[in-house]
Structure 1
């Protein structure tokens, strides 16, 4: 009987913040760092981490303001701030040659980091994001963040609300995502487990302009895999093709039956596609 690998919860001080991460073991192997998206957390990657830890030392990071990591003291949730955290995280753990995998916001952070530190990466995987976003998907995500209730009467009420926005992910995957994205509030209700400044800045319309990532791409020298969900509303085929043309060493894979949350929507096709690239 095989025992399922359980990650260890660890914390490191990086860039003045306590950053929490999940260590999936296998320290003798090449390290792989996983970066979640805007509303994600380290556990977003659990299915992929479980598969990847057979071949890699997998570290899934809670980026600032998410999960069990500190919130930004100054409310700074810009790409350069996330990338400075990642650089400090790598320094703290002496990571100088590793694989980086990022989804959505985490994919943008990964591209920026890779452009600044090409010598540190063996391979890069960018999941369903590009230097430009399809405005339809960007507006959908903003609307979802701005309009979501502050609190719910129960966890089941959260699941019911979020399931209306879920097209492909299984009930078990959706429940896991929400388990680590919520917390019990002092009043006994269920609220969100991230810095609400991330939401409030969208309500106020004060989110800083996104960093221009096109100049980063030609500087990324490592083999790069672009993963696109076939049903995504965020990464257009045109932007994916331009990325392919601009990156020095890139390939593109499209995952069927998947929207923007590719690895949750269709892990059965996502996991082998990425493992083939990494092998």
Structure 2
């Protein structure tokens, strides 16, 4: 089943208050400018929260709608929940790596006139946020990394390859309704993918109203091909100066994405970092939302 073609817009989710929409130019495809549609919510900051705007970056296969509640509650400020390239409604690109995502984010902050951002990222989004902050400390006020390490390689890379292969093998007739198509895709995916991941994956399943064709919103082929680069992340940041801004890591005790033994190495890149453990798996913000929000709120209040 195909991924979606390059959409005409990259959308930013409204979170609270009064929304505003406009068009801007943003090189979401590497360095090629594209017109993207954005929706931005203006919320009055409530002291003592910092005035820097919060940019919330999602994990692989995730979309901004899945975390809009978590992004809204802790900040009461201007918040952008972003679909990174090759995900959700953002444009597809021929590459998917840290350099490209950082270039997209730099253009995004410039287009929105954000002098400094609070970056919060989960998994792939966390690595994108770390890469952005290490390369652009002048644009980064503080950093929240959710269940991912800059050092260790997750043991689930092989599992992700199997998931992408299963997604590409799904074939659905156009005359099925979206609900029946989701059920058929679920049955097909369950042959190779664990039940705890299937519903999460199915949020990417879309149906074209004109033709009835089913497609994946995310760029499955490029994401699959980019997996080996996930293991080379350390080489991309090895020679960068440390990010000395306030940083916190929020990780799950039952997740393989952060090895506690790596913490001394993590501090070499983020010397002002703190570490919080919650009794969760990889989806920390969804499994323990109240504790997660409490940690984020406290961190955003710190001087």
Normalised by the length of structure 2, the TM-score is 0.74
My pick for the range that moved more, 25-34 or 58-67, is 25-34
My pick for the range that moved more, 216-225 or 86-95, is 216-225
Matched residues, number: 264
User: Of 116, 140, 146, which residue of structure 2 is paired with 1:127?
Assistant: 146
CA change 1:98–1:159 in 2 (3 A) is same
Determine whether 1:238 maps to 2:282.
no
2:12 is matched with: none
1:44 is matched with: 66
1:13 is matched with: 25
Determine whether 1:252 maps to 2:264.
no
Which structure 2 segments of 5+ residues have no match?
Answer: 1-14, 28-32, 46-50, 173-179
User: Match of 1:101, SS?
Assistant: strand
CA change 1:208–1:237 in 2 (3 A) is closer
My pick for the range that moved more, 150-159 or 58-67, is 150-159
Determine whether 1:154 maps to 2:177.
no
1:246 is displaced (CA, Å) by: 4.2
1:138 is matched with: 157
CA change 1:243–1:19 in 2 (3 A) is farther
Q: Which has the larger radius of gyration?
A: 2
My pick for the range that moved more, 245-254 or 192-201, is 192-201
User: Match of 2:81, SS?
Assistant: strand
Which structure 1 segments of 5+ residues have no match?
Answer: none
| 1:88-99 alignment runs, 5 A limit | 88-99=107-118
- Give deviations 1:4-37, integer Å, cap 9, x for gaps: 9378576642112345655343166531111111
Task: Say what the alpha-carbon RMSD is for the aligned residues.
Answer: 3.2
CA change 1:37–1:11 in 2 (3 A) is farther
1:259 is displaced (CA, Å) by: 1.4
Q: For the residues of structure 2 that align with 1:261 and 1:218, how far apart are their CA atoms?
A: 30
1:25 is matched with: 42
Asked whether the 8 Å contact 1:112–1:216 carries over to 2, the reply is no
- Give deviations 1:153-185, integer Å, cap 9, x for gaps: 523445677797465x9x9xx57x844x22114
User: Of 268, 273, 278, which residue of structure 1 is paired with 2:295?
Assistant: 273
User: Of 191, 195, 199, which residue of structure 1 is paired with 2:215?
Assistant: 191
CA change 1:161–1:231 in 2 (3 A) is farther
My pick for the range that moved more, 238-247 or 30-39, is 238-247
